[in-house]
Chain A
């Protein structure tokens, strides 16, 4: 399970500073921040703008362009379900619907108990073992409803 520190703008500023001198560092910075804190607080926008010599609007634009970057904490586990064609051909659409009903969440939602955040992705490169998912970076293939139940139980344990 990933563990995150509480957001701290001072520490976040140090992370930003640690990329000084690297070309085009915005994405590596944002990944490092999200890995540490679980999300990107908007307090970092002026800090990054200053460090990268860009406008605040540009930094904000970059953060919001990419699907990966969040502005709030995810659940304890993040499940990325592949919605793309190879997974569709093995029944992913119905399986995803089932899972959402079981969890009472929609895409990007987090269960009430905070255990699972559900995210859509388009292909994980596991297309010969579809339907596929990434559970906190751990790949899972050949998903069916019993595998989904086991995944949910494990996440809630």
Chain B
């Protein structure tokens, strides 16, 4: 019996992985057993299947159901040569050049096998944490330099310490799995490919701050992640990894996965808490900080999936092992998500400090369309549009902020030379208008005005006057919005106007300008 690994990650399924798995079974039962895994994150090669051979796993991809006869003829079950043969996956340059700490197991293990998880180093972090005081755990996370991966980059250990020191009978750990930023999918990959790591990270967080209950708020656009996460919670509970006495340590931690309902703003932490409480996802004013008055008014640590999923590594290998990676105040690894018009899109985990150019050229290999790259947007829908002249900026929170951009959740979306930045600026306003929670006027009304004014600019009506209007509007939104939804929408707009001014002149003049 030969084992074949076929990903069940949503992106692999989107490329036909389920059909490939069915076709393999139809042709090869009873000679093979299929193990479904997460994805390695080399999405142009999906569905990428791996065969267990005496020399290790051998990958083939992208495999279509129609390739299976020729794969059999090539003796792929013994690693035979074939046009689609990729060799050992860990030797594929795209993977070999990465530093996979958080994504070490993703694509390797069966996401719902706790045995597999343990065999690959899982639960070593929690075991260490169980033997420690909450304060020591918090200090260790602080020393690792881990900063929140949800966008704001706030030091995780400092947030935990605030929750830890708060006095209350009940405290909560809330995992922000809303992953609303376009161009991002790392949270999804963790939940579909290595869910026990997130459970372990949240349990460690619970021990650190003294919280006994956790929620994972997952966006409804991720039905597969929700299913896998929910089943993993059931399994962990059955195995005693969650429950009234975690692994018999005498301390409780239980978890529940909750589904969002299609609102981008519910990724903002206070809106998320409102939603978890069963209300409209309207942003709360801060203070009070959620760390002190969060879910149901009680002390709550709200953290992104990747922040929590990185904690087991820190506990298992030590704070210094993690802090040794990175640059400046950005310690550890950044999980870059490369997407859009790119030849080799995927998940790239590397130490902070790699340049944007290395990501899109060396890893990405240029556009999928074969045309020149004209712009990239980094950091989701509230991130800046940048031209080629900024590509040598290192991926680091401070370096990006210095150039009026943001790393955000690490998504990079690539556009070729057919992109129209005026249309992209208009979309930024349109998105804000559609997804604003409505609490404050600069955002709610400003975004609608922004769309109208961009329409005039695109139509060539009073362009100079309307450009000034957009600039003023952006200033108001930046200064007077309650949260970063309205406050950062000007970033894509202003960056597009600053770096691509030629796209904002009337169409006939544009041609003349070229």
Name the contact of B184 in the complex, choosing from A25, A61, A125, A142 (C-beta under 8 A). Answer: A125
B397 within 8 A of A: no
B179: A residues at CB distance < 8 A: 125
> In the bound complex, do residue B413 and residue A67 qualify as a contact, i.e. CB atoms below 8 Å apart?
no
Q: What per-residue 1/0 map shows which CB atoms of A85-117 lie under 8 Å from chain B?
A: 111111000000000000000000000000000
A24 within 8 A of B: yes
B341 within 8 A of A: yes
> In the bound complex, do residue A52 and residue B278 qualify as a contact, i.e. CB atoms below 8 Å apart?
yes
Taken together as a complex, chains A and B put the C-alpha atoms of A24 and B452 apart, in Å, by 38
Smallest distance from the beta carbon of B66 to chain A beta carbons, Å? Answer: 15
B266's nearest neighbour on chain A, judged by CB, is A66
A154 within 8 A of B: no
Smallest distance from the beta carbon of A22 to chain B beta carbons, Å? Answer: 9
Name the contact of B182 in the complex, choosing from A30, A69, A84, A138 (C-beta under 8 A). Answer: A84
B398: A residues at CB distance < 8 A: none
300-347 of chain B: CB within 8 A of chain A: 337-342, 345-346
A79 within 8 A of B: no
A123 within 8 A of B: yes
A122: B residues at CB distance < 8 A: 180, 182, 264, 381, 431, 434-435
> In the bound complex, do residue B14 and residue A126 qualify as a contact, i.e. CB atoms below 8 Å apart?
yes
Smallest distance from the beta carbon of B409 to chain A beta carbons, Å? Answer: 11
Interface size range on A against B = 35 or more
Name the contact of B14 in the complex, choosing from A25, A30, A65, A141 (C-beta under 8 A). Answer: A141
Q: What per-residue 1/0 map shows which CB atoms of B249-290 lie under 8 Å from chain A?
A: 000000000111111100000000001111111100000000
Q: A89-B413, A128-B338, A142-B15 are in contact. Are A24 and B276 (CB under 8 A)?
A: yes
Name the contact of B44 in the complex, choosing from A30, A69, A125, A128 (C-beta under 8 A). Answer: A128
A45 within 8 A of B: no
Smallest distance from the beta carbon of B277 to chain A beta carbons, Å? Answer: 4
Name the contact of B339 in the complex, choosing from A28, A30, A86 (C-beta under 8 A). Answer: A86
Q: A89-B419, A125-B222, A130-B339 are in contact. Are A66 and B10 (CB under 8 A)?
A: no
Taken together as a complex, chains A and B put the C-alpha atoms of A87 and B261 apart, in Å, by 21
> In the bound complex, do residue A26 and residue B278 qualify as a contact, i.e. CB atoms below 8 Å apart?
yes
> In the bound complex, do residue A127 and residue B345 qualify as a contact, i.e. CB atoms below 8 Å apart?
yes
A127: B residues at CB distance < 8 A: 182-185, 337, 339-340, 345, 411, 413
Name the residue in A68, A80, A89, A123 with the highest tally of chain B Cβ atoms < 10 Å from its Cβ: A89
Taken together as a complex, chains A and B put the C-alpha atoms of A132 and B342 apart, in Å, by 15
> In the bound complex, do residue A31 and residue B259 qualify as a contact, i.e. CB atoms below 8 Å apart?
yes
417-472 of chain B: CB within 8 A of chain A: 419, 424, 427, 431, 434-435
Q: What per-residue 1/0 map shows which CB atoms of B223-264 lie under 8 Å from chain A?
A: 110000000000000000000000000000000001111111
A73: B residues at CB distance < 8 A: none
B154 within 8 A of A: no
A23 within 8 A of B: yes
Taken together as a complex, chains A and B put the C-alpha atoms of A85 and B496 apart, in Å, by 14
> In the bound complex, do residue A89 and residue B416 qualify as a contact, i.e. CB atoms below 8 Å apart?
yes
A134: B residues at CB distance < 8 A: 221, 223
Q: A90-B341, A123-B180 are in contact. Are A28 and B258 (CB under 8 A)?
A: yes
B103 within 8 A of A: no
> In the bound complex, do residue B14 and residue A140 qualify as a contact, i.e. CB atoms below 8 Å apart?
yes
B342's nearest neighbour on chain A, judged by CB, is A128
Taken together as a complex, chains A and B put the C-alpha atoms of A85 and B11 apart, in Å, by 17
Q: What per-residue 1/0 map shows which CB atoms of A22-44 lie under 8 Å from chain B?
A: 01111110110000000000000
Taken together as a complex, chains A and B put the C-alpha atoms of A128 and B424 apart, in Å, by 19
Taken together as a complex, chains A and B put the C-alpha atoms of A23 and B262 apart, in Å, by 21
Name the contact of B281 in the complex, choosing from A24, A66, A123, A142 (C-beta under 8 A). Answer: A66
A23's nearest neighbour on chain B, judged by CB, is B296
A145: B residues at CB distance < 8 A: none
A-side residues, CB < 8 A to B, are 23-28, 30-31, 52, 54, 58, 61-62, 65-69, 80, 84-90, 121-130, 132, 134, 137-142
Known: A28-B259, A67-B263. 18 other contacts (CB 8 A): A24-B296, A65-B282, A66-B262, A67-B261, A122-B264, A123-B184, A125-B10, A125-B11, A125-B222, A126-B14, A127-B183, A127-B339, A129-B11, A130-B341, A132-B14, A139-B13, A140-B14, A141-B14
Interface pairs (18), CB distance under 8 Å: A23-B277, A24-B278, A26-B278, A27-B276, A62-B278, A65-B282, A66-B263, A85-B182, A89-B340, A89-B341, A123-B180, A125-B184, A127-B184, A128-B337, A128-B346, A134-B221, A137-B223, A141-B15
